[in-house]
Structure 1
Amino acid sequence: MTFKAIALATILTGLGTTSALAQESGIPEAEVEAPTPQSIALELFAEAGSSLRAGDTETARRLMMAALDIKPAHPAVLRALVTIATRAERPDDGFAALDSMVEAGLTFAPADATLILLEAADADRLAGIRAALAANGEPVGEGEVIARINRPDALIEGVAMDIETDRIFVSSVADREILLLEPFARDEPIVFADREDGLWSVFGLVVDDRTRMLWAASGTVPQTPLADGEAEGTALFAFDLITGDLYRRYAIDGAVQMADFVVRDGSAYISDSGAPRVYRLDNVSGELEVLAEDPRFVSLQGVALARGALYVADYSMGIWRVDLTDGSAGLVRASETSLIGIDGLRQTRDGRLIAVRNGAEPYQVMAIDLDPTGRDVANVDVLLRGHASMAGNTEPTLVDLADGRAWLVSNAAWPLFPADGSVPDDARPATAIVELDLR
């Protein structure tokens, strides 16, 4: 966040410093939470909405530009700027916001009022932008569907490949299971572990070749079926990869939902999607500890190890680089491509980050090259977009890498599992596992 954004947020929203907040609220200063980029951005959103409703489009624009400075290439901010430009009848601002969407690799369908305004100002420019936005959604890359799991009520989320045996493991949120797919029967899942092993909903999975363990992150969400009186919880589980026996369950006080993780040389690094924390497990006989706890973390997801650091996707902020020594964190400075809405994150042997974006359209798998410092994005390539399996009311989620290949859960049916437990009219599809060649 730049000084400009902080200053504008302070002036226009009245957030001020922690001391000022304490004085205004009467709450002791030690108990007042300092503003974070997320809290400032939300305040800017709220104030911009109030200004827009009051007809003050210029203040609304300034506020949203400050929000964009905090959250570069954020789809919601750019959409808001298009709306403000339309209300203000300022076509140049509308063109600028749409140009930013194009550069960010996003798709967007402008409202009729926006189209009328911009076409009257410059029909050719509008046509070019609309063509570029459409091109951002065109299919890219090739992937082979190697398994279809006909368990529509399972809500498959994660995938892990055991390269030594060619067995695939997938995680179930709604059935609270880990399923095994044998190489000779990819479409016939076998239950590897379930709630009898203490599992809640299962999210990230990792096969550790060194210890021959299958690791699983488990926790509770609204889609988790709990028995009457059953307690919620979250933990990291380690299973014997061959026998399926539970080796150990790792828990830590204060954890809300362990989501995804990475394992290297017997050490695990785990994100907490419900708390601003990243955990570390030094070895299979150790205990979980907090590696990083930062109020700037919003919704942590996929995790990768590259260039001597830990990279953690934040659904709302982008990608954090976490120092493995002291846990300090900083946002990776992005190129024009939006890093908002990344779910799965893994690394190749040469330090490339493979990311699955499902929180911004178009959904896609991206390869992110970092600069030599590991703190800036040098290049982004789209590896897969618009695949036939990535269709309907579904989304790609987690990915695993090995031997120059990637395996992707391409159509997790999260939109068809409402948090209120209702059953939508649309049929839930079989889950497709897609293999990509990264070589």
Structure 2
Amino acid sequence: MKMEVKGDAAKRGALTALGAAGLIWMLAGVAYAETPVGVPDKSFPESVTSTKDGTLYVGSFNEGGVVKIAPGGKPEQLVKPGANGSRSTLGVLADEKSGTLYVCSNDLSGLGVKGPSDAKGSVLKTFDLKTGADKGSFALGEGASLCNDIVVGNDGTAYISDSLAPNIYSLKPGATKLEVWATDPAFAPAKDGVGLDGIAIGADGNIYLTTYIPAKLFRVAVKDGKPGAVTELKPSRALDHADAMRAFGDSFLVIEGAGRLDKVTVKGDEAQIDVIQDGLTEPVSVTQVGNTGWIAEGKLSYIIGPNKGKDPGPFVLKPVSLK
């Protein structure tokens, strides 16, 4: 998330433009032409997810909705802006097992981002992964909330991070509303800061999270589906605006808003931070397809930050080797 939240506001970043040219995919061995993939012009996407066939799904911070980009194809509107009462789109997650696309919808008007509708509040929306048809709508808690990102466990339970309240929500298969699964004062955003951001499930079955400002890493122990001890992990070096987090084998991929993609390996209560790629431009999210990480460079400062009104240039999903 590429921004600092004040009052009842919200957060981060985006992509846009170039057209989906020049992409060669061979998914059997997952070999790629290392060519950035463009997304729709004038849209500031905020999060990216993928399916095993290499299709990418991208949400839009300002325009809402979700576009999908099949291997070698052009962006197609899967979820229309404003669909199912949605507004600005932050976290997106494709769950192939259930055929569901999870989408974090938020009212960002407090940041001057109107979005595609007048829907209020922070809501988890679900859509059919193939057709984009509406499946469900689940509001976060009352008061200040910001649905940020999602992860789904082996049993089909979805877990959702809230950047403005110290809560992790859960949505079990067939449930009609979100439950507060875990809450802890350590998750609360600092003054003018942003709380919980990325969320992932580790190889050990525990839940791991980032906070954006200040940048921290946390582990929530999980036993029989219930939360246990919350531990702040000690990183091998300080993180700078810890953002999206995805499981990566027995480690994690973590985006730093300062311009880095990291591999994070947890041993005990310590986290080893190894840089995979530096020099990225306001990155906001990452998804893995085979040996390639696709990174969304959000450039949110051009819509809600000091560069607002300036030309951000094209927005792309940038491929980075994970070998």
TM-score under structure 1 normalisation?
0.59
* 2:145 counterpart SS class: coil
Equivalent of residue 376 in structure 1, options 261, 265, 270: 270
- Equivalence for 1:318: 216
- Equivalence for 1:56: none
- Cα separation, 1, equivalents of 2:245 and 2:114: 27
| Higher strand residue share | 2
1:355 aligns with 2:251: no
CA shift, 1:312, in A, is: 0.8
- Cα separation, 2, equivalents of 1:143 and 1:416: 29
1:305 aligns with 2:305: no
Preserved contact between residue 292 and residue 328 of structure 1 (Cα < 8 Å): no
- Cα separation, 2, equivalents of 1:231 and 1:318: 31
* Paired AA for residue 207 in structure 1: A
- Cα separation, 1, equivalents of 2:291 and 2:173: 26
- Cα separation, 2, equivalents of 1:167 and 1:418: 29
- Cα separation, 2, equivalents of 1:278 and 1:430: 34
CA shift, 1:321, in A, is: 0.8
- Equivalence for 2:59: 171
CA shift, 1:319, in A, is: 0.6
* 1:197 counterpart SS class: helix
- Cα separation, 2, equivalents of 1:150 and 1:245: 21
Preserved contact between residue 84 and residue 125 of structure 2 (Cα < 8 Å): no
- Equivalence for 2:318: 434
- Equivalence for 1:417: 303
- Cα separation, 2, equivalents of 1:217 and 1:150: 19
CA shift, 1:212, in A, is: 1.4
- Equivalence for 2:68: 180
- Cα separation, 1, equivalents of 2:169 and 2:289: 24
- Cα separation, 2, equivalents of 1:178 and 1:429: 21
Preserved contact between residue 202 and residue 219 of structure 1 (Cα < 8 Å): yes
* 1:296 counterpart SS class: helix
Following superposition of structure 1 onto structure 2, how do residues 123-272 of structure 1 map, counting pairs within 5 Å?
Answer: 144-152=34-42, 154-164=43-53, 166-186=54-74, 188-221=75-108, 222-225=111-114, 230-254=118-142, 256-265=145-154, 266-272=156-162
Preserved contact between residue 143 and residue 435 of structure 1 (Cα < 8 Å): no
- Cα separation, 1, equivalents of 2:246 and 2:130: 24
Q: Which has the larger radius of gyration?
A: 1
User: Which deviations, in whole Å up to 9, do the C-alpha atoms of 1:360-391 show, x marking residues without a partner?
Assistant: x4x100001111x3x211x32211112xxx34
Gap regions ≥5 residues in structure 1: 1-141
The alpha-carbon distance between structure 1 residues 160 and 177, as it changes in their structure 2 partners (threshold 3 A), is: same
- Equivalence for 1:119: none
TM-score under structure 2 normalisation?
0.78
- Cα separation, 2, equivalents of 1:327 and 1:245: 36
Following superposition of structure 1 onto structure 2, how do residues 39-50 of structure 1 map, counting pairs within 5 Å?
Answer: none
CA shift, 1:327, in A, is: 4.6
* Paired AA for residue 322 in structure 2: L
| Higher helix residue share | 1
The alpha-carbon distance between structure 1 residues 368 and 399, as it changes in their structure 2 partners (threshold 3 A), is: same
Q: State the identity as a percent.
A: 23
* 2:83 counterpart SS class: helix
Equivalent of residue 231 in structure 2, options 330, 339, 348: 330
Aligned CA RMSD, in angstroms, stands at 2.4
CA shift, 1:251, in A, is: 1.8
With a CA cutoff of 8 Å and minimum separation of 6, indicate the structure with the bigger relative contact order: 2
Aligned length: 277
Preserved contact between residue 161 and residue 407 of structure 1 (Cα < 8 Å): no
The alpha-carbon distance between structure 1 residues 284 and 431, as it changes in their structure 2 partners (threshold 3 A), is: farther
* 2:284 counterpart SS class: coil
- Equivalence for 1:4: none
* 1:326 counterpart SS class: strand
Preserved contact between residue 147 and residue 162 of structure 2 (Cα < 8 Å): yes
* Paired AA for residue 52 in structure 2: I
- Equivalence for 2:25: none
Preserved contact between residue 344 and residue 356 of structure 1 (Cα < 8 Å): yes
